[in-house]
Structures are given as structure tokens and as C-alpha cells.
Amino acid sequence: MRNILEYDSVELSPNGRDVIILDQSLLPNQEKFLHLTTAEQVFYAITLLKVRGAPAIGLAGAFGLAMCMNRFRARTLQAFDKEFLRVKRYLYISRPTAVSLMWTLDRMERCYYEAQEAAKDMSEPDAIKHIKESLTAEARAIKLEDVKKCLSIAEAGFSLLHPGSGILTYCNAGHLAVSRYGTALSPIYYAQQKGYMPKVFCCETRPMLQGSRLTAYELTKAGVDVTLICDNMASDVMSRGKIDVVFFGCDRIAANGDVANKVGSSMLAILAKHYGIPCYSIGPTNSIDFHAATGKDIVIEERPAFEVTDMYFDKPVAPKGVKVYNPAFDITPAGLLTGIITEKGITPPGKLAKLKND
């Protein structure tokens, strides 16, 4: 069985014409890699959670945009420009909450116009070639930067741990959800490599079971001591003194430190506050949306009812036609968090403004 760190969940083929993803919707029962070659395939891979996790979604968007432009046969810059904007806008709406997707696509657009300006004295075929190469290089650079950020996050989170630390985590913010290593799970991998042998309790994370299907899967493959629990068992393990710290990820962070993350995260933060356990949200600085003043300004995606009533069950587990409320995320108020861990270190939730200027 290969260690989870031996391969990445999102990649761009060497020729830049395929986005290669590990289909996370099939885990833990099947490891299947998909080669995506159209904007529509990338869009639905994101919306159907074949690729998921805010940084991985952002990377899939950047790779997808580069891939589509590499495959597009344009005779004129005008046609190339029109197609670029179409694909960018199309991928932009595939998931509304994770800010990493918008951040990477906006960055790719800036790269596009910079390359266009640099190629203004070239012939149209040469200019198009130059722009394609620039977009591909930019997408690859985004991934390399993300890997470095994850390593810095790992070191910052590791500073909070001791040998044998009990860690409670939620959803999946590990190697599968990013370019490499993870955000909320990266301190766990780092601690394991340092011989700390952390003891991880992993909430199953209803209704999509990212905890049981993905986090338990990847930590097991990495040799980490992990125990799976149902979401409603979190209070019990905290009350028994098994948890020293709570780590979970972030899909978007408001300027005041409110965090949008997988629905149920706020529940853990409330419990941690009650039991006096430090609770941290972990992610890269590009997850911070300074245009959102508070969590109330973050759009929360609502998912289909069948994810609650039918997904992963042989038969429906609820009466046919019952009303279902299925938000994908909830907001953890800044006041419930001990800190926010980014590649720039550990920051109090109310002090994020300084990261904007760093």
C-alpha cells in the first residue's frame, strides 16, 4: 500500500493538456485517477466533489483554465481572449464558498493580461503561444507556492503539540485537499515525522463523510494513530480528557476572523470553548477574504437533499419527500477560536489585518 504522500490529488500533465485528479468521491474503496480535458469536466469534478478541499479546488481551477487554453485552437487573439474569459467565468461559479478558487482564477487572469502585454509586438500565432506558456507556468507556480505554504503551516501548528498529543479534527483538510501535505492535517504529518506519534480523533463529518472516507483513509495510509468517531461523540471524547487541541480547516475567513468551514465546525469550537480546549482554524492566507467584513458576508452553499437521505446508503434513510436543509458550511465566530494558523504563523482571530500588509 503506497503512502498517501507518494502522489498528489491534483496535477497538470507534463504537456499541459490534461488535469489529472484522484477521484475523491470513490474513496476509500477505489483509487481512480481521472484525466480531465474540457472545462465542463473540470466544472463537474468540482461540483460533484471529485476534487474537493479549498486549496485543491483552487488548483483545479488554475490547472483547468491553463489546460483549456492549451487545447483551444485560436486563429486570432480576439477569439483566444473571448474563450479565456468564458472559461474563467464558467469555472468561477463551480463552488461559491471557497475563496481559493476565485483567488487562483483572478491570479490567472492577471497573468493572462501581463502575458498579452508582453506579446503585443509578436505575431498573433507567437503571441498566443507565449500566453499559453505563461498560463501553464503560472498554474504550476501556484502549486509550488501552495506546497511551501503547507510546510510553513505544518511547522507553525507543530509548535502547539507535544509527544502523544490528542488532536480532534473535522472534515478533510489533509494531503487530499491541497497541493501536498495539507493544512489542518499538516501539523499531524510533521509531528509524526518528528516522532511525536500524535493520537488523532477524526469526526466522520456527515453527510458527505469526508472524515471517515478521506481523513481516516489518508492518515491510516501514513501510519498515523487515528480513531474514527461519529460527529455526536465529540463532546464525549473531550470530556474524557482525550483531546489536547482541535484543528480544522477553512474555506473562507472573514476580515474579523469569522471562519466558514465544513458544517459542524462551529459545533466543535463551541464544545472546545466549554471544555477549555484550544481550537484553531488552519489554512493559507489566500483563504482570508478582506472584502467580507464578517461571516455574515460569506455566501453559504446549499447542497442537494439526496446527500443527506441517500448518499452512501443502499436504501434511503429518511421518508420520501421529507424536507432537508443541507448547508455545506457553517460560520465559526472568531471569538470561539484560539487562533488562526497560516503560513505566516499563529494569529489571534481579531488581528488578521496585519496579515494583509505583510
Judge residue 221's burial from the number of C-beta atoms within 10 Å of its C-beta, 0-12 exposed, 13-18 middle, 19 or more buried. middle
Residues 50, 177: Cα–Cα separation, whole Å: 11
Residue 231 is placed in which grid cell? 460527529
Judge residue 38's burial from the number of C-beta atoms within 10 Å of its C-beta, 0-12 exposed, 13-18 middle, 19 or more buried. middle
DSSP secondary structure string for all residues of 25-66: GGTTT---EEEE-SHHHHHHHHHTTSS-SHHHHHHHHHHHHH
Q: Which amino acid is at 279?
A: C
Residues 173, 296: Cα–Cα separation, whole Å: 23
Q: Grid coordinates 494558523 are at which residue?
A: 341
Catalytic residue, from 23, 251, 297, 310: name it. Answer: 251
- Tell me, yes or no, if 251 is annotated catalytic: yes
Omega before residue 319 within 30° of 0, cis: no
Residues 33, 225: Cα–Cα separation, whole Å: 27
As annotated, the active-site residues are: 251
